[in-house]
Copies of this chain bind each other. A is one copy, B any other.
Amino acid sequence: MELKLPHFDSVFSIDCVIFGFEAGELKVLLIERNEDPFKDWLALPGYIVGQDESVDHAAERILYELTGLRDVSIRQFHTFGEVNRHPQGRVITVGYFALIRINGQKELEPVTHFARKAFWHPVNELPTLAFDHTEIFKRAYKKMRTKLNYEPIAFDLLPEKFTLTQLQLLYEAVLNKKLDKRNFRKKMLSYGFLKELAEKQKGVSYRAAKLYKFDRRKYAKIFQNELGS
C-alpha cells in the first residue's frame, strides 16, 4: 500500500522510572548520560523506540538492557508530548514505571553505549535531571503511591521472602508516613494472598520473625471478579 503519511521529523522514545527499595529507602534508577544532548547529566533510563518494535516491547527491551531483568511488572503511565521537551527535535516520550528487587546483586552495568553508568538514587533529594525527566519522575512517583493503595505492587520491591515488618517499612517509606503495626498486619493478612512460610528470619540478634511470600496464584483467584465487562 502506498505510504501517504506526512513526513515529519518526529521520533518516539520511552523513559523508565524504575523504583527499588534498599536500606529502608525508596530509590530510583538513574543513568549518567554519555551522549549529547545533556551529555554528563543524570537522567532517567530511556531511549528511542525502534521503527519495528511496539512501544511496550521497547520499554521491556530498554529495561532489560539496563538492568538485566525480565518479567517485571512494567506499566505505561503517561505520554509527554510538549513541543520543546527535546532540544534536537520533536520527540514525544511514553513514560513507563516498574518496581524491581534490588537484591544487593551485582553492580548495574549498562550494555548500551549512551549511558556511562546506572545507579540507584534515593527518591528524596533527587538531583536535577536532563530534559523534563524531573517532571516525568514526579508523575510516576505520584501514580506509584496511588497504586500502592489498591494493587499489590509492593511485593515487586521486596525479596521473595520477607517479614511483615519489612513490608510495613516499605509502605511507610513510599507513603512517607507511619503506619500502625497491628492494623497493618491485620489488613495485609486479611487479603489472603500472603503465604506464611515455615522458615524464619536468620542472623538477627533478637526474636526472629516469620517469613512470608506473596502468592500470585491466590491473588489472581481472589481478584479475578474485579475484571468484569
Contact = CB atoms under 8 A, between A and B. Distances in A.
Interface of A: 1-12, 36-37, 48-49, 51-56, 58, 76, 78-79, 81-83, 86-92, 94, 176, 229
A5 B11 contact: yes
**Counting chain B CB atoms within 10 Å of each CB, which of A52, A58, A81, A90 scores highest?**
A81
A82 B94 contact: no
Question: Which secondary structure characterizes the binding site on chain A?
Answer: loop
A53 B10 CA distance: 12
A7 B6 contact: no
Contacts of A10: 8, 10-12, 51
A81 B3 contact: no
B51 A1 contact: no
Contact of A55 (B49, B53, B86, B92): B92
